[in-house]
Amino acid sequence: MAESETINTRASAARVLDQVVSGRRSLNDVLAPGLRNIADGRKRALIQELVYGTLRWYYQLDAMLQCLLNKPLKKRDSDLRCLLLSGLYQLTRMALPSHVAVNETVQAARILDKSWATGLVNAVLRGYQRNSVQLEADIGDSLVALYAHPGWLIERFRHDWPDDWEAILQAGNQRPPLSLRVNRRQITRDDYLTLLQDEGIGAAPLAHTLDGIKVEVPVPVNALPGFDEGLVSVQDAAAQQAAGLLELAPGLHVLDACAAPGGKTAHILETEPDLASITAVDVDERRLRLVEDNLERLGLTARVLHADAAEPDSWCDSHSYDRILLDVPCSATGVIRRHPDIKLLRRPADIGSLVSRQAQLLSAMWSLLPAGGMLLYTTCSVLADENERRIGVFLEDNPDAVEQEISASWGRPCANGRQILPGDDDMDGFYFACMRKRF
Ligand SMILES: C[S@@+](CC[C@H](N)C(=O)[O-])C[C@H]1O[C@@H](n2cnc3c(N)ncnc32)[C@H](O)[C@@H]1O
Residue 159 lies in a domain: no
Count of alpha carbons within 13 Å of 332, Cβ hemisphere only?
Answer: 16
Task: State which residues of the chain have pLDDT below 50.
Answer: 1-5
Residues 36 and 104 in one domain: yes
The answer to whether 154 and 169 have CB atoms below 8 angstroms apart is yes
Ligand 1 centre distance from Cα of residue 351 (Å)? 16
pLDDT tens, residue by residue, 253-285: 999 999 999 999 999 999 999 999 999 999 999
CA-CA-CA-CA torsion sign (106, 107, 112, 113)? positive
Ligand 1 centre distance from Cα of residue 97 (Å)? 44
Residues 273 and 323 in one domain: yes
Residues 67 and 199 in one domain: no
Nearest CA to ligand 1 atom 27: 260
The total domain count for the chain is 3
178 three-state secondary structure: strand
Exposure string of 117-129, with b = 16+ CB inside 10 Å and e = fewer, is: beebbbebbeebe
pLDDT reported for residue 238: 98
Residues 196 and 260 in one domain: no
pLDDT reported for residue 184: 97
For residue 395, which amino acid is it?
L
For residue 233, what are the β-bridge partners?
181
Residues 6+ apart with CB under 8 A from 166: 147
Residue 157 lies in a domain: no
Residue 163 lies in a domain: no
Exposure string of 61-95, with b = 16+ CB inside 10 Å and e = fewer, is: bbbbbeebeeeeeeeebbbbbbbbbbbbbbbbeee
The CATH number given to whatever domain includes residue 84 is 1.10.940.10
The answer to whether 341 and 29 have CB atoms below 8 angstroms apart is no
The CATH number given to whatever domain includes residue 371 is 3.40.50.150
d(C-alpha 264, C-alpha 266), whole Å: 5
Residue 154 lies in a domain: no
Residues 267 and 189 in one domain: no
Distances (CA, A) of 84 to 76, 101, 331: 14, 11, 29
CB atoms near residue 228 (< 10 Å): 10
d(C-alpha 405, C-alpha 416), whole Å: 8
Torsion of CA 232, 234, 237, 243, to 10 degrees: -60
Ligand 1 atom, smallest distance to 284 CA = 25
Which residue pairs, CB below 8 angstroms and at least 24 apart, start in 93-100? 93/53, 93/57, 94/49, 94/53, 98/129
Residues with CB under 6 A from ligand 1: 239, 258-264, 281-284, 287, 308-310, 327, 329, 361
Torsion of CA 49, 52, 58, 60, to 10 degrees: -60
Residues 292 and 413 in one domain: yes
To the query of whether residue 258 is one of the catalytic residues in this protein, the response is no
CB atoms near residue 405 (< 10 Å): 10
The answer to whether 142 and 177 have CB atoms below 8 angstroms apart is no
Residues 322 and 213 in one domain: no
Catalytic residue among 82, 258, 330, 380: 380
E strand residue ranges, 116-177:
none
Instruction: Write the DSSP assignment of 25-37 as a string of letters.
Output: --HHHHHHHHHTT
142, 164, 199 — which closes off a domain?
142
For residue 95, which amino acid is it?
A
234, 257, 282 — which closes off a domain?
234
Ligand 1 centre distance from Cα of residue 329 (Å)? 6
pLDDT reported for residue 3: 45
Count of alpha carbons within 13 Å of 46, Cβ hemisphere only?
Answer: 20
Nearest CA to ligand 1 atom 15: 329
Ligand 1 atom, smallest distance to 261 CA = 9
d(C-alpha 201, C-alpha 206), whole Å: 15
Residue 329 lies in a domain: yes
Residues 192 and 307 in one domain: no
pLDDT reported for residue 318: 76
d(C-alpha 251, C-alpha 274), whole Å: 6
Residues 56 and 101 in one domain: yes
Nearest CA to ligand 1 atom 2: 329
Closest to 264 in 3D by CA, of 283, 284, 238, 286:
238
Residues 134 and 17 in one domain: yes
Nearest CA to ligand 1 atom 25: 284
216, 234, 252 — which closes off a domain?
234
Residue 162 lies in a domain: no
- Best residue among 283, 288, 363 to mutate for probing ligand 1, ranked by most atoms within 8 Å of CB: 283
Residue 172 lies in a domain: no
Phi, psi values for residue 217, rounded to 5°: -120, 115
The answer to whether 57 and 148 have CB atoms below 8 angstroms apart is yes
Residues 122 and 205 in one domain: no
Ligand 1 centre distance from Cα of residue 379 (Å)? 10
Ligand 1 atom, smallest distance to 262 CA = 9
pLDDT reported for residue 2: 41
Residues 253 and 381 in one domain: yes
**Residue span of the structural domain in which 63 resides:** 3-142
Ligand 1 centre distance from Cα of residue 85 (Å)? 33
The CATH number given to whatever domain includes residue 200 is 3.30.70.1170
pTM of the model: 0.95
